[in-house]
Amino acid sequence: MCIRDSTLVLGCTHYPYLKPILKEILPPHVLVLDAAAAVAKQTQSLLKQHHLLAPLTHKPTHSFYTNKETAILRRFVPGYLKEQVYFSTDF
């Protein structure tokens, strides 16, 4: 990485799961910009606007689908979520 490469933009809501490991492996001068909160807030706003936001009447279930092995997801995701998490490569 060149010194001019000083910013990494995490442009999706699932990239923050990788943020701790990225901070470890990137040079200290690299700024990591996390857009996940802004993306999630805008998504929530659009869902509300179109009356598509589900009411929180029960505990949510989280399912992660990937086209690769689930080992990496299994390593990072459970530390962030308190609820039951499901992983699958079948979709």
Q: How many CB atoms lie within 10 A of CB 34?
A: 15
49 shares a domain with 59? no
29 shares a domain with 4? yes
E-only strand ranges, the chain: 7-10, 31-34, 62-65, 85-88
Residue 2 in this model has a pLDDT that exceeds 60: no
68 shares a domain with 43? no
Structural domains of the chain, count: 2
46 shares a domain with 2? yes
Is the pTM value of this prediction over 0.75?
A: no
Q: Residues 3-59: pLDDT tens digits?
A: 567 888 888 777 887 888 888 899 889 999 888 888 889 999 999 999 988 887 877
Its domain, for residue 10, covers 1-53
Which of 88, 40, 85 shows the shortest CA–CA distance to 66?
A: 88
